Structure 1
Amino acid sequence: MTVHVSAPAARRALVALGLAVAITLVVAGCDSRAESTSAPPPPDVGVAPVLVEPVRDWSDATGRIAAVESVELRPRVSGYVQRVAYAEGDEVAKGDLLFVIDPRPYRAALQRAEAELARARADAQLATTRHTRAQQLIDASAISRDDFEARSAGRAEAEAAVRGAQAAVETARLDLAFTEVRAPVAGRAGRAMLTTGNLAQADTSLLTTVVSQDPVHVYFETDERTFLRHQAMTRDGARANGRNAVRVGLADETGHPHAGTVDFLDNQVDPATGTVRARAVLPNPDRRFTPGLFARVQLEGASQREAVLIDDKAVITDQDRKYVYVVGDDNTAQRRDIVPGRVVDGLRVVESGLATGDRVIVNGVQKVFMPGMPVSPQPVAMRGGQPVEAVAGR
């Protein structure tokens, strides 16, 4: 018996058969890929236990570098500048010649004063001789008392004239010496404000400035709490000579690499700002500090406290939040939000969020994609992130 199948029915049968074959192939391919693909091993990460060590708090402030000695050099005598005897910007020693004011008028004045002194001494010698002769004559009653007293007065007047002439010579000698303007302190000399040929007015014209170089001062403002801590240290003798230590960093430096001490606190707190002005002294043998530079200052606190410390590389930023990954007993990475503090000796203080015994991922944090992810912890040192064996073998 012949069965006739219509063309539309045949096409539907063929389509159904094709779909069935395709589904079978897809299922077979998925099964084969699932069988051929295995789960990746947990990533290796460097893990270190948190450090709990005593740290000392430091208070932050901003300040300015200033010279210990700063001099505006002005002439003591008037005259035309004959020579500028230094190179602008160079360091000078105390007593070095910087400017020469035309000395000729003052040299002539000194010679004139010396001549006046010589004449006064001659007059005084003559008056003394006359007084001696008058003494002999009065003893012999050869002159009157009035003549004797006149000669005595003449001798006293001549002696006073000598002293006046001597003072005039000293003044003229000083004026001549002042034509050589010398550095009153050792330091760096600034720009010459008057050059050769210009008129310098005594006590008025600014010639140049000289600022000392080593040591230097840094002035900064501290709040009332910091001021009270400093006073407590001074009373309790917590530091040698009752001086706080300070650490200073410049604008192009990381951290606070320069050490100094506080040597001055103002005698009152500014009631408008609630701050007190302080000053620290810093050595400057390599001339790193220049007066006027901005400085970041940290002032040492009065007491120590136990703090949790971690490597800064372990800290991750999530918008306005900070967190780290800690490894639990099941070797999975768990997120732990923290409140970070300041950096102490290269490690970050954690104010809250971690406790003693927590193991923090220091190396390979970028390998952790989500909390709860399995990891393969490898022990490392918290300082430097090196393997524990390498640190122990140093």
Structure 2
Amino acid sequence: MTLNSGRGLLAALGLLAMAGSLPTFAIAQQAGQEGTPQAVPVVVAPVEMRPVAGALDVVGKISAIDRVDIQARVEGFLQDVSFEEGGTVAEGDVLFRIEPDEFEAAVTQAQGQLDAAVAQQSLAQVQLDRAQQLLDKKVDSQMTRDQAKAAYDSAVAEVKVSEGALRSAQINLGYTTITAPVAGVVGRAAITKGNVVGPASGPLTTIVSQDPIHALFQISETDFRNLRDRASADPDNVKVTVGFSDGTEYDQTGSIDFIDATVNQSTDTILGRAQFPNADGVLRDGQLVRVKLESGTPEERALVAQGAIIADQGGLYVFVVEDGKAARRTIKIGNTVDTDVVVRDGLAEGDMVIIDGLERVRPGAPVLAQPAPDAASSGQIPAAETEADAAPAAADDKG
């Protein structure tokens, strides 16, 4: 083998070695790219400072001022159901009619018995007068006069008994027409026409008053004292509102009209009650609501969107954007204000809180922060926290 041919062989072997190493280099380079954290797109909003009055949120329950179970007071066949289920009724409106024939007959019978008793009383009166005259003339004995007096007294008593029986029969006849004792919304009829009803039948329906209506709530003894201090011990200085489970609020304001005189020893809470106008019937008896009690002079408070708050065993926290990365912040919260929550500790004004895209966010992960539409339009999002500045952070991680 010549020198030139040896050199050619070495060169060929070198090319083969380089060719064999190229796939390995490409695989390593691809693996490095796949291991680079990808920036997560998120939506952010700044922590805002807004004037907020001292407020307390508690769970409450709507309670009708009047709630009446309608029951039959006499037994008989149900002749008519005279209301629309779920509709409104006025006081005195007819709800049910029980077949009255038997009760009308009882009234007629009682009236006849009374007439007979009155006639017997008249006869006894005549006999007593005659016996007295004969006694005065010494024609008859004292015993005869006394017997006439006793017969008269018995006849008077019999008239009273008959009057009572007639009155009872008339009352029972009146009970065959069942009317609404209060105005309000009537429930469904528990028993239908044609059935036998009576005092043992249970409620035939229920009426609950609608306007105004009460909201009952329990407040801790400590919160009650704080509320009194802020309101200068005057319930009229407390603004009361209610919110629903979907986050919306009732558009009418209520006022406190009752605070219990004692503290519940088992829960260390005090029962309170507020009254609300309810002409449209939005609030319903038994409905669970969120009761907000506001009092005192409004103070500047940090607010964050409710949807940004996460809860775990360690407590409540949010993610904020710092240098293009997500950072976890533990917070303490206060009352709610519309769709936001007062943050008492853990955040400062201007902190960029992640409010959307949280499902893929991890502490320290690079993010592509985009402003919430309302925040972007108001110019509240600093340029350093937007998508344009999150990309370099991701690039640094690649390096």
TM range (shorter): 0.5 to 0.7
Q: Which runs of structure 2 are paired with 1:327-338 in the superposition (5 Å)?
A: none
1:57 has 2:55 as partner: yes
Query: 2: distance between equivalents of 1:336 and 1:197?
Result: 69
Deviations 1:223-258 (A, max 9, x none): 232233356578x43332x8x54322222x324335
Aligned to 2:139: 143
Are 2:169 and 1:172 equivalent residues in the alignment? yes
* TM-score, structure 2 as length reference: 0.66
State the match for 1:204 in structure 2.
200
Q: 2:394 aligns to what?
A: none
> Which residue of the other structure, out of 221, 224, 248, is the alignment partner of 2:221?
224
Select the residue among 248, 254, 257 that pairs with 2:247.
254
Quick one: distance in 2 between partners of 1:313 and 1:102?
60
1:284 alignment partner in structure 2: 278
Per-residue deviation at 1:124?
1.8
Structure 1 residue 178 displacement after superposition: 0.6
Letter of the structure 2 residue corresponding to residue 300 of structure 1: L
3-state SS of 2:107 partner: helix
Secondary structure at the counterpart of residue 81 of structure 1:
strand
Does the Cα contact within 8 Å between 2:53 and 2:294 map onto a contact in 1? no
2-structure distance, mates of 1:284, 1:152: 66
Shift of 1:174: 0.3
Shift of 1:108: 0.7
How many Å apart are 1:72 and its aligned residue?
2.1
DSSP 3-state at the match of 1:204: helix
Secondary structure at the counterpart of residue 155 of structure 1: helix
Contact 1:194 1:206 in 2 (8 A): no
Q: Provide the residue aligned with 1:238 in structure 2.
A: 234
The one-letter amino acid paired with 1:187 is G
The letter of the residue matching 1:81 is L
Against the structure 1 CA distance between its residues 361 and 226, is the aligned structure 2 distance closer, same or farther, given a 3 Å change threshold?
Answer: closer
Deviation at 1:118, TM superposition (A): 1.1
The offset of 1:154, in angstroms, is 2.6
Structure 1 pair 267/187, CA: closer, same or farther in 2 (3 Å)? Answer: same
> Which region of structure 1 is more displaced relative to structure 2, 147-156 or 166-175?
147-156
CA distance in 2 between partners of 1:89 and 1:192 (Å): 10
Separation in 2, partners of 1:47, 1:87: 51
1:326/1:336 contact within 8 Å kept: no
- Are residues 354 and 197 of structure 1, via their aligned partners in 2, closer, same or farther at CA, if it must alter by over 3 Å? closer
**Residue of structure 1 in register with 2:395 after alignment:** none
Could you say which residue in structure 2 is the equivalent of 1:3?
none
Task: Tell me the CA shift for residue 160 of structure 1.
Answer: 1.9
What's the counterpart of residue 308 of structure 1? 301
Aligned-pair CA distance for 1:207: 4.3
Matches within 5 A, 1:1-394: 51=49, 53-61=51-59, 63-139=60-136, 141-146=137-142, 147-201=144-198, 203-214=199-210, 215-230=212-227, 236-240=232-236, 244-251=238-245, 253-257=246-250, 259-293=253-287, 295-300=288-293, 303-304=296-297, 306-309=299-302, 312=305, 321-322=317-318, 339=331, 341=333, 342-344=335-337, 348-352=341-345
**In 2, distance between residues paired with 1:109 and 1:227?**
60
8 Å contact kept, 2:228–2:234? no
Deviation, structure 1 residue 313:
10
CA separation of 1:178 and 1:104: change in aligned 2, threshold 3 A: same
CA distance in 1 between counterparts of 2:188 and 2:311 reads 52
Residues 26-75 of structure 1: CA distance to partner in whole angstroms, max 9, x if unpaired? xxxxxxxxxxxxxxxxxxxx9999545352122332x3333322222221
Contact 2:304–2:343 (CA<8 Å) still a contact in 1?
A: no
Q: CA deviation digits over 1:187-213, x for unaligned, max 9?
A: 222232222232223x21124232324
One-letter code aligned to 2:268: G
Q: Contact 2:98–2:177 at 8 Å: present in 1 too?
A: yes
C-alpha distance in 1 between matches for 2:274 and 2:307 = 35
